[in-house]
Amino acid sequence: MLLDKVKHILCISLILLVGVTTLYACKSDDKELQGESVLQVQKSIGFKKEGGEVAVPVKSNREWNASVTEGKEWLTARKASDTELTVSATSSPEKGVREGNITITNNALTAKLRVVQTGGDLIIEVAEESRVIQVAGTGNDHIEVNLLSNTDYEVVIPEEAKDWITEKEVPDTRADLASSTRIFSIASNPLTTERNATIKFVSKENTNIYDQSEIKQQKKSSDISGVNPEKDIKLKVTGGYDTDHQPGQDISKSYDGQFGGTCYHSTWSQSAKFPVTLEYQFDQNQLTLDYILYHSRNGNGNFGAFELYIKPQGSTDFIHIQDYDFKGAGGSHRILLNDPVVPAAVQFKVKSGLNDFVSCDEMEFFHAAENPLDEQLITVFTDRSCSELLPDASDEAINRLPAFFNVLAKSLQSNTYPEAEKRFRIQSYQAYSVSEYWGDKLRTNYYSPLCNPTGIITNAGEEMVVLADGIPQGESISLRCCSDLGPDGEERFLKNGINKFSFSRAGNLFVIYQKLDPRGMPAVKIHFPPQYVETTEHARVGFNVWDLTVDKTDDLFREYIRKAKSVTLDGSDKCVFVLKGRKILFTALKDLLQNQDNFKQYGVVRGMERWDNLIDWEQELAAIDTYSNTGEFNSLMHVTTFTDGLYATNYYINMAAGDVSTKDGWGFKNNFDPRDMDKNQDNEWGPGHELGHMHQGAINWPSTTESSNNLFSNYVVYKINQWGSRGSSIGTLATYRYAPPTPWSRFMHPRDPNTLAFTPQDMTSDDANKYGLYQGEASEMHMRLNQQLWTYFERIGKKPNTIRKIFEQGRTPEFWLPFNDPGAAQLMYARNVAKAANMDMTEFFDAWGFFIPVSFKLYAYGSFSYTVTQDMINQTLAYMKTFPTKCPPIEYIEDRRYQAGAGGNQKGISEDGGDVGYFETFQNNVKITKTVSYTVSGRTYTVTNGEQAVAFELIKDGKKVWFANRFVFTVPAGADIEGAELYAVQADGQRIKANK
């Protein structure tokens, strides 16, 4: 047993022979050259019982001095020269160990020298850092055990460990040495389990005096260096031609092997001359072409629709292979050929490209190599993912496997495969929709391609082995490495069996498995086995993915966030954490989720459930659920948490994280969990608004971009049922529309007070957010148009599913809104609504200023010529007359009653509400039975007995010149009301003249 001795010595981190090892207060030799202060002194020295004198080297580029700070009664320190310190110790009268300290300083830096002296008792003490030594499975030729002793001792290695632990150098073990370092060699571990051994250092005088060091060696290395699957063979392009190129950027630039260099590009100064033909030639080629890699450039010209043709060797004719459409998407695309052919030439007829150009960074052609190891693996494993053993897999078959797969098989056989990592290392991944295809079909921004997070992370340049099984014939599946919160990343394509590659940047890995219609597609099993290169683990489990449907609980989220690992990116550690729900996917920095108080308190379950509901509700409103409920469209919505801004773009929306270091944030923090979101209407509105941008395409044109999406915001608020809707009042609409008469697209735009001309007539980007405008429009007012349609048709159930029909029709050629012609789009939307409602909507859209000619340049996220002519109006009015039923006066419908001081978007009441026109009046088709009367004082009207009306109109010469939904209202000077008479408007549209 161990001697009961003075325990404080256990804290000594290292006791060394004088001069053997030096530890420095300053590590950079370059500092001296740079004029910075340098001070280098070894860390500790030891004396035997009799004491003595030791010279200690000191390196300093400044004047230095030394003093004894502990042990002055037995220690002295004297500066012998500029480079040497003399330390003396008297004989020790103690039986145990005593310690002292010496401080060396040069005014800029300070170093500590620890001094230890043994006494009369027999002592053997292993240094703390040597008590347990971890050794990699590959072994180590130089393991140091540091110890202090004042007795001769024997090194005892267990008999069963002598074949893998040997002492390399045998120092003197006489009693007069105070400290020593023993050096051992540890052989590589051939076992699939960890092995341990304890080395004892036993006094020769008294065998009860000893100490020990435990060696723990990891299991046999899962080194992937020996895994070298057959590489696919790249076919050499010997020539080519194109039908349109920019000088200096012809087709040869797309097969020169220079990625990111000069690319092929069609003529810059004009749209490409579609179809553009690109032909690649392969003289003397004898290998089949199995797949093509098209690498796009960043910017114009990414392929859209194209036709692929191949001319076989020995033939003079091209064969049509298939039509494709890459939708202008960036990145790399793999074209798999179901029937490989030996090509003499390959031809692309490109029919469209991003921004009407055609470009290609590199085009590569490959013959797929067979991997003979695949057949051997399936004699042991159930499939080529190598994630499960065959029930009858024999030890003999396992032992015949190459080393890496032998270790893998034995870990599965012995149940030593890391159980906590299986959740991430071995997964089956489902197919998801092609976001570009469905975005175009549904008139939405593109949903995310990042629907299959793996929980595996990699550093730059780290090779990894990935094992796959179940990839269907002809399907393209890849791994994308994303370095940041967004969807951009580098891709590597996968094939069944063994894949080996690396990425040029660190990040999180996502499986990209997409299909136009993913229903019925088989799940693909992908395995990231435990693996090393030498002693460095590759393809690590990051514990940085939490999936609501798999992981379910806040407790598991807290476990994962605690374990979550970082990658090294641009010299810094970075950990991006992924939260996945049924419909939503968040990416956020670990610090945000771990440190902000609301996440620590709430967890993530209720927040993810709320956001899944947000997507459900908006898809329901826009008739996207027709496809999402069947699984035909199943892509996830991606929410990033970059520091600044709430915004939407293709592939994701951003909810600002704020400054993580302050444990605060104004977007994500307040808009995630319902317990935060429901504190005020803004917090519900923000997510609905940004998600609305993703979904508004079928009802959006310039002048509505920041308002048509608010149909979704108001719907989200309605579904949560905590707050009321938002938007300007009916009185404000009257002001914009009639004081003076103003078209929809110029609500709130400034006018010259004398001429009433708009100033400016044509807008620039500087005008977009002036005068109370938001991106050129009166968004708070504009949003009420769609809210009125929804309130009448859906909320009170007058014509259910009309809003869904509007979206569905807006995706058809008949009602497709031409975004670059906003005037035509405005009138097309009016037609769409009339068709969906099967009603003449003339009165409604006239109230909203749709039928007033206008021509100007609008700035709304870009510059647009906005023109509505009288002829366009007449055609639209004629279209309206084809519907026999006239829509009631729903331009007056309100879901808010007027209440003075009712701010903050309270449910059902608002200062922007009305005294009349509440939806219940329309719902019950209330008739006016009272005698409505009014008085006028100047331009202020006071109405009596008007409770049964939905609005009050001022009519002059048979034309409406003003309207109001308040019992007391004042008409601005801009409206010509001289001689006008007041009428009460009934819910069915009948006008009843009021008594004055």
**How far is it, in rounded angstroms, from Cα 776 to Cα 848?**
17
Collapsing DSSP to helix, strand or coil, 784 comes out as helix
Strands (E), 440-518: 452-458, 464-469, 477-482, 490-494, 497-501, 507-515
H or E, element range at 491: strand 490-494
Strands (E), 353-463: 359-360, 362-367, 426-429, 432-433, 452-458
**How far is it, in rounded angstroms, from Cα 299 to Cα 330?**
8
Residue 226 pLDDT: 84
In a domain, 689, yes or no: no
419: burial class by Cβ within 10 Å (0-12, 13-18, 19+)?
Answer: exposed
H helices of 77-222, in order, are none
**How far is it, in rounded angstroms, from Cα 706 to Cα 748?**
14
H or E, element range at 400: helix 395-400
Average pLDDT estimate for 526-545: 94
Residue 31 pLDDT: 46
pLDDT band with cut points at 50, 70 and 90 for residue 27: very low
**How far is it, in rounded angstroms, from Cα 518 to Cα 587?**
24
Last residue in a domain, options 101, 117, 133? 117
Residue 274 pLDDT: 97
**How far is it, in rounded angstroms, from Cα 841 to Cα 831?**
8
pLDDT at 13 over 60: no
Residue 914 pLDDT: 97
**How far is it, in rounded angstroms, from Cα 430 to Cα 426?**
13
In a domain, 90, yes or no: yes
Q: Token pair 């148009």 is at which residue?
A: 785
Tally of domains in the chain: 7
Is the backbone of residue 258 left (phi > 0), alpha (psi -120 to 50) or beta? Answer: beta
Q: Are residues 750 and 770 in the same domain?
A: yes
**How far is it, in rounded angstroms, from Cα 503 to Cα 489?**
10
Strands 110-117 and 44-47: parallel
Q: Are residues 959 and 988 in the same domain?
A: yes
pLDDT at 666 over 60: no
Q: Are residues 402 and 383 in the same domain?
A: yes
Q: Are residues 819 and 939 in the same domain?
A: no
In a domain, 85, yes or no: yes
Report the CATH number that the domain containing residue 280 is assigned in CATH. 2.60.120.260
**How far is it, in rounded angstroms, from Cα 608 to Cα 597?**
17
- Count other C-beta atoms under 10 Å from residue 502's C-beta: 15
206 and 166 Cβ atoms separated by less than 8 Å: no
pLDDT band with cut points at 50, 70 and 90 for residue 218: confident
In a domain, 228, yes or no: no
Task: Report percent pLDDT > 70 for the chain.
Answer: 94
Last residue in a domain, options 217, 248, 263? 217
In a domain, 828, yes or no: yes
Collapsing DSSP to helix, strand or coil, 561 comes out as helix
pLDDT band with cut points at 50, 70 and 90 for residue 42: confident
Q: Are residues 626 and 494 in the same domain?
A: yes
State both tokens at 596. 């902000």
> Residue type for 308, please?
L
Query: Helix, strand, coil proportions of the chain in percent (round to 5)?
Result: 25, 30, 45
pLDDT at 530 over 90: yes
Q: Are residues 207 and 293 in the same domain?
A: no
- Count other C-beta atoms under 10 Å from residue 390's C-beta: 14
328 and 303 Cβ atoms separated by less than 8 Å: yes
> Residue type for 422, please?
K
Task: Report percent pLDDT > 90 for the chain.
Answer: 77
Is the backbone of residue 350 left (phi > 0), alpha (psi -120 to 50) or beta? Answer: beta
Last residue in a domain, options 305, 335, 367? 367
In a domain, 703, yes or no: no
Residue 661 pLDDT: 54
**Which whole-number Å values give the CA distances from 97 to 5, 123, 150, in the listed order?**
9, 9, 10
H or E, element range at 542: none
Average pLDDT estimate for 801-825: 98
What is the tens place of the pLDDT at every residue in 467-501? Answer: 999 999 889 999 999 999 999 999 999 999 999 99
> CB-based contacts of 451: which residues, under 8 Å, 6+ apart?
432, 510, 585, 634, 635, 636
Q: Are residues 352 and 380 in the same domain?
A: no
H or E, element range at 132: strand 132-135
3-state secondary structure 896-951: CEECCCCCCCCCCEECCCECCCEHHHHHCCCCCCCCCEEEEECCEEEEECCCCCCE
What is the tens place of the pLDDT at every residue in 592-610? Answer: 898 877 777 889 999 999 9
Q: In the chain, how long is the greatest CA-to-CA distance?
A: 125
**Which whole-number Å values give the CA distances from 600 to 158, 604, 850, 852, in the listed order?**
49, 9, 51, 56
Q: Are residues 621 and 723 in the same domain?
A: no
725 and 717 Cβ atoms separated by less than 8 Å: yes
DSSP summary character for residue 472: P
How much is the mean pLDDT over the chain?
A: 91
Q: Are residues 390 and 304 in the same domain?
A: no
825 and 872 Cβ atoms separated by less than 8 Å: no
Backbone dihedral angles phi then psi of residue 560, each to the nearest 5 degrees: -65, -45
**How far is it, in rounded angstroms, from Cα 445 to Cα 698?**
11
pLDDT at 524 over 80: yes
End-to-end CA gap in the chain: 112
Average pLDDT estimate for 429-445: 96
Average pLDDT estimate for 658-665: 53
Q: Are residues 242 and 181 in the same domain?
A: no
Backbone dihedral angles phi then psi of residue 636, each to the nearest 5 degrees: -95, 150
pLDDT at 4 over 90: no
Domain that holds residue 153: 124-217
Triad 256, 257, 261: Cα angle to 5°: 85
The torsion angle over the Cα atoms of residues 595, 597, 603 and 607, rounded to 10 degrees, is -110
**How far is it, in rounded angstroms, from Cα 747 to Cα 735?**
9
pLDDT band with cut points at 50, 70 and 90 for residue 903: confident
607 and 581 Cβ atoms separated by less than 8 Å: no
In a domain, 897, yes or no: no
pLDDT at 240 over 90: yes
Q: Are residues 838 and 756 in the same domain?
A: yes
**How far is it, in rounded angstroms, from Cα 693 to Cα 649?**
8
Q: Are residues 283 and 332 in the same domain?
A: yes
> CB-based contacts of 323: which residues, under 8 Å, 6+ apart?
305, 306, 307, 308
pLDDT band with cut points at 50, 70 and 90 for residue 150: confident
Residue 152 pLDDT: 86
In a domain, 894, yes or no: no
Report the CATH number that the domain containing residue 603 is assigned in CATH. 2.60.120.1250
What is the tens place of the pLDDT at every residue in 284-338? Answer: 889 999 999 999 987 789 999 999 999 999 999 999 999 999 988 888 899 999 8
944: burial class by Cβ within 10 Å (0-12, 13-18, 19+)?
Answer: middle
pLDDT at 34 over 50: no
pLDDT at 210 over 70: yes
Backbone dihedral angles phi then psi of residue 431, each to the nearest 5 degrees: -80, 145
Q: How many residues does this entry show for the chain?
A: 996
